[in-house]
Amino acid sequence: MKYKNGHFYIEKVSASKIAKKYSTPTYVYSFEKIVNNIKKFKTNFKKINPIICFSVKSNANLDILKIIKTHNIGADVVSKGEMMMALKAGIDVKKIVFSGVGKTSNEIDYAIKKNILLINAESEDEIINIEKIARKNKKKVSIGIRLNPDIDARTINKISTGKKENKFGVDINTFKKIIRSYKNSKFLEFNCLSVHIGSQITSHQPYRIMLNVIQKCLNECNHKFRFIDLGGGMGIQYTKNDNLLNYKKYSSMIQKFLKKNKVKIIFEPGRSIIGNTAIILTKVTYIKKSGRKIFIILDTAMNDFIRPALYGSIHRILPYKISKNKIIKKHEFVGPICETTDKFLETSSFQKLTNGDLMIICDVGAYGMVLSSNYNLRPASPEILVKGLKTIVIKKRQKITDLI
């Protein structure tokens, strides 16, 4: 995705061609970028040879999952819906892990019947329920227990998951107690210790502490696990100010860990695979000058993409066509929804814009479409995949009549 002669292209197709064909707002993905990210991720952890389970919560589009599947990647799912979608995409059941603090009996039963790789349990209560359902199914179920390592992932507070005040996983003492109490269960096989400390992590330091806590837990528990599931969380560069995770350091820390522990590593990446593979194409509906500010009112809104409104996250906004005519004044890019938080970005200057101009919101591939809604009764945007010169509709635009 780059500018050619001052115009924005997704692979070999100009953004304006896509907007003309499919209208706006529209999610647009680059096939090449997805494949490159997968290859990069595999290269970064080559020496570890992990099982990679793509975190479906970050992007659940069937065609995207099919691309991921062709690279021998599994799925990390958190609901029956995600499990069914992963299976529909052809993902191998023996590469599916099921996480989440509130799996219902119906979801657990489904996972047991499908014989997935692991159900990563997050409480003693859940273990009791899984054992009950396993007994009913007369099956020995492969279980992971999620450890809450009580560490700060130094990411946005709202997406941190590894502190003791977060609802996720169990503390070391409970972890050990569960292993002790259910060691001889005929229906549970404790194969995995899992963790996930947060998302958009850009420093290897929290991972270092995480590995130390895991080691401590393993030393104290005296139980042989087949897998250590390290979750996902690897951050991406949304702006130049974001640091990039040092994969070399993270990988070498894990290699050291593997020298002491003969286990298979599982990763559950979402954002690092899909985050920077998509943009939203949007048009300027109106421009409103108000005091010292210029409001740029777009035809996309927080219902299409909620990350800025929900987490205050920053996503670059670019013009389709570059011009040199710069206006030094505060610009606020907003949507049409009747909420003050329906705001994408503030900048201190921008090139001169006019109504109808085509714009690009960057890096929306992860936690974009999956978090969209019909708020204000706005129909969902379509998803388009670009592959060289080809554009493929991977999700149709929802019709207003479907909502009424």
Q: Which residues carry out catalysis? A: 338
> Cβ neighbours of residue 294 under 8 Å, at least 6 residues apart?
287, 288, 327, 329, 330, 331, 332, 350
228-257: which residues touch ligand LLP (CB under 6 A)? 231-234
Smallest distance, ligand LLP to C-beta of residue 354, A? 32
Selected binder of ligand LLP within 178, 367, 384, 385 (CB under 6 A): 367
User: Can you tell me the distance from the alpha carbon of 345 to that of 361, in angstroms, rounded to the nearest whole number?
Assistant: 10
276 binds ligand LLP (CB under 6 A): no
The residues near 340 (Cβ < 8 Å, ≥ 6 apart) are none
Site string for ligand LLP, 146-175 (x = CB under 6 A): -------------x----------------
Shortest distance in whole angstroms from residue 245 CB to ligand LLP:
11
Could you give the 3-state DSSP secondary structure of residue 60? coil
* C-alpha separations of 221 from 186, 260, 313 in Å: 20, 15, 39
What are the tokens at 330? 């505060």
DSSP 3-state of 137: helix
Minimum CB distance to ligand LLP smaller for 229 or for 357:
229
Q: What is the DSSP letter of 20?
A: H
In DSSP terms, which residues pair with 27 in a beta bridge? 280, 383
Comparing CB distances to ligand LLP, the nearer of 204 and 271 is 271
Query: What is the nearest approach in angstroms of ligand LLP to the Cβ of residue 224?
Result: 23
> Which of 203, 211, 280, 206 shows the shortest CA–CA distance to 10?
280
Q: Which of residues 307-366 bind ligand LLP (CB under 6 A)?
A: 307, 311, 366
Number of residues that bind ligand LLP (CB under 6 A): 22
Quick one: tokens of 186?
């005929």
Stretch that binds ligand LLP, among 218-226, 250-258, 264-272, 322-330 (CB under 6 A): 264-272
* C-alpha torsion sign, points 206, 211, 217, 223: positive
- How many CA within 13 A on the CB side of residue 398? 14
Nearer to ligand LLP, 30 or 55 (CB): 55
User: Do the Cβ atoms of 322 and 245 come closer than 8 Å?
Assistant: no
**One residue of 26, 30, 37, 55 binding ligand LLP per CB under 6 A:** 55
Record the tokens describing residue 22, joined without a space: 């499919």
According to CB under 6 A, which one of 196, 204, 315, 378 is a site residue for ligand LLP? 196
Q: Is 199 in the site for ligand LLP (CB under 6 A)?
A: yes
Q: Which stretch binds ligand LLP (CB under 6 A): 216-224, 268-276, 280-288, 347-355?
A: 268-276
Helix segments in 167-317, DSSP class H: 172-182, 205-221, 247-260, 271-274, 307-311
Told to check if 272 binds ligand LLP by CB under 6 A, we report yes
Q: Binding to ligand LLP by residue 282, rule CB under 6 A?
A: no
Strands 96-98 and 264-267: unpaired
Site for ligand LLP in 57-86 (CB under 6 A): 57-58, 76
Name the residues that contact ligand LLP, by CB under 6 A. Answer: 55, 57-58, 76, 99, 159, 196, 199-200, 231-234, 268-272, 307, 311, 366-367
